């Protein structure tokens, strides 16, 4: 009985030990499994995070690019586009993703480019094209010029999965090109006119040596006047070129100056011309100073006052005022002329731009005066602008950087506005 008990007990013990051993082994395996699972899940997380990081890196790169990038699938549907592309093509990404390119951008060139990139001729470099997008159907001035490049996109097996289009905005470049073209054409035209007149006068004089003194004086007068015109044009062109070259040098020369003596000097220069048309100056200045180069500012003001005199009817007033506006000093030159049509205002500071060619030439303008004013003001770090209404005259304003008033070496040496006005009348 006792033996049986011992046998049973030992069997039980052995079984228990076996069970414990077996369980231990199982737990170990389980632990191993769990450990492996955990590390796999950690790796997976890391991978996912890395993928996510790369994706957001790519997205950041794409979205901060100046160039527009758009991806298109083989069915010609737009599958993604970066911020620049949406902006260049004036698209709302939310509304256009997944739609065929033909529906989204109706531009024959772009469509042809995409078609070519989707069925590329073998061995050819990526296709490029220039497109013009009409943003506003009512006008051509808002047209956007883009240079587009398209290339096929392939997966790891080399199978084509779509195309990618890269867009550059070349509107500014095109505009500059056209400005340059216009400038060359204008200069040639402006110089050709006086030369033709001189040539005609000289030929007439040469053909008729026995011409009476009266007509002869007429022709020599023409030659002299036209030569003066040529001289004025070349002089203006030279000062524009100088301004362009000296832009950086001038920045170092900027100093705080009281603008009142400069204004009075400019009025003095234009005094004779004003007298011819019995035009009065009404100068109303506050004691303000600006960071300027006095000679340049004087040149700009002379141009503006000269213009005001030219376009004013006789016996009127040209008003010159200064005011401090925050961090700026604004000098206004206002005339009582016929005013400028609104359509001309945005282009009035362009070289050789004229609202009325014949009239302006008759008045002896070179077409460069206001352009010089704009250049000088920008060189001085300011801004030139114009306001005008038909029948109410025009006001040209120069906004300059304000500065503390320098100590006046000779107080009382400036003529008062009343004196100036009396002098000119």
Partner 1 sequence: MAIFLQRQINTLKKMVLNLGAACEDQVRLSIKSVNDRDVELASRVIEGDKKIDLLEIDIEEECLHTLALHQPVAFDLRYVVAVLKMNNDLERIGDHAKSIAQQAQYLAGEGEITEMPFDLNAMSQRVEKMLHNALDAVVNIDVELAREVRVLDDAVDIMHAGMYGRAIELMRDHPDQAEQIVHYINISRQLERIADHACNIAKDVLYITEGEIPRHSRLRRARGEASQATGTDHGEGGGGI
Shortest distance in whole angstroms from residue 199 CB to partner 1: 23
Region of 144 on the Ramachandran plot (φ > 0 left; ψ -120 to 50 alpha; else beta):
beta
Query: Which two tokens mark 5?
Result: 């008990």
When the beta carbons of 108 and 213 are compared against partner 1, the nearer one is 108
Shortest distance in whole angstroms from residue 179 CB to partner 1: 16
Query: Which two tokens mark 79?
Result: 């599958």
Q: State the DSSP string of 26-46.
A: HHHHHHHHHHHHHHHHHHHHH
Shortest distance in whole angstroms from residue 185 CB to partner 1: 13
Shortest distance in whole angstroms from residue 69 CB to partner 1: 22
Query: Which two tokens mark 311?
Result: 């376009």
Query: Which two tokens mark 213?
Result: 């003194």
When the beta carbons of 53 and 175 are compared against partner 1, the nearer one is 175
CA distance 392 to 334: 10
Would you tell me which residues interact with partner 1 (CB under 8 A)? 76, 100, 102-103, 106-109, 111, 134, 137-139
When the beta carbons of 104 and 292 are compared against partner 1, the nearer one is 104
When the beta carbons of 150 and 403 are compared against partner 1, the nearer one is 150
Residue found by looking up tokens 């209404």 in the block: 389
Shortest distance in whole angstroms from residue 140 CB to partner 1: 8
Q: Tell me the angle at which helices 213-253 and 369-379 cross, rounded to the nearest 10 degrees.
A: 10
When the beta carbons of 42 and 106 are compared against partner 1, the nearer one is 106
Q: Which among 356, 269, 347 has a CA at the least distance from the CA of 309?
A: 269
Residue found by looking up tokens 């000098």 in the block: 331
Shortest distance in whole angstroms from residue 108 CB to partner 1: 4
Query: Which two tokens mark 76?
Result: 């010609």
When the beta carbons of 110 and 348 are compared against partner 1, the nearer one is 110
Strands 127-133 and 144-154: antiparallel
Query: Which two tokens mark 129?
Result: 């094209």
Shortest distance in whole angstroms from residue 137 CB to partner 1: 4
When the beta carbons of 143 and 246 are compared against partner 1, the nearer one is 143
């Amino acid at each position: 009985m006792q033996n049986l008990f011992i046998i049973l007990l030992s069997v039980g013990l052995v079984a228990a030990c076996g069970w414990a051993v077996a369980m231990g082994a199982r737990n170990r395996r389980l632990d191993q499994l769990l450990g492996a699972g955990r590390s796999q899940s950690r790796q997976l997380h890391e991978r996912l995070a890395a993928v996510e990081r790369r994706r957001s890196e790519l997205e950041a790169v794409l979205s901060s690019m100046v160039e527009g990038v758009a991806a298109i699938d083989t069915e010609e549907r737009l599958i993604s586009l970066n911020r620049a592309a949406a902006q260049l093509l004036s698209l709302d990404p939310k509304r256009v993703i997944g739609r065929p390119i033909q529906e989204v951008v109706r531009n024959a060139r772009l469509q042809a480019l995409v078609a070519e990139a989707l069925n590329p001729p073998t061995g050819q470099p990526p296709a490029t094209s220039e497109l013009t997008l009409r943003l506003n159907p009512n006008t051509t001035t808002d047209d956007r010029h883009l240079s587009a490049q398209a290339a096929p996109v392939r997966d790891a097996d080399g199978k084509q999965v779509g195309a990618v289009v890269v867009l550059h905005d070349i509107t500014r470049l095109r505009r500059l090109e056209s400005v340059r073209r216009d400038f060359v054409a204008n200069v040639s035209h402006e110089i050709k006119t006086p030369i033709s007149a001189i040539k005609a006068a000289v030929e007439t004089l040469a053909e008729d040596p026995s011409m009476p003194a009266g007509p002869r004086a007429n022709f020599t007068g023409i030659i002299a006047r036209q030569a003066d015109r040529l001289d004025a044009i070349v002089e203006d062109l030279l000062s524009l070129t100088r301004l362009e070259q000296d832009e950086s040098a001038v920045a170092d020369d900027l100093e705080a100056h009281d603008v009142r003596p400069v204004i009075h000097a400019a009025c003095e220069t234009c005094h004779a011309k004003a007298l011819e048309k019995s035009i009065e100056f009404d100068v109303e200045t506050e004691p303000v100073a600006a960071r300027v180069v006095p000679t340049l500012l004087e040149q700009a003001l002379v141009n503006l006052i000269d213009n005001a005199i030219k376009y004013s009817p006789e016996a009127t007033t040209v008003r010159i005022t200064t005011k401090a506006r925050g961090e700026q000093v604004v000098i206004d030159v206002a005339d009582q002329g016929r005013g400028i049509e609104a359509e001309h205002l945005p282009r009035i500071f362009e070289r050789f731009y004229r609202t009325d060619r014949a009239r302006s030439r008759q008045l002896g303008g070179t077409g460069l005066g206001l352009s010089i004013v704009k250049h000088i003001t920008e060189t001085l770090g300011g801004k030139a602008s114009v306001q005008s209404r038909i029948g109410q005259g025009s006001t040209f304003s120069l906004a300059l950087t304000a500065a503390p008033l320098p100590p006046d070496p000779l107080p009382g040496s400036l003529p008062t506005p009343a004196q100036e006005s009396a002098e000119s009348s």
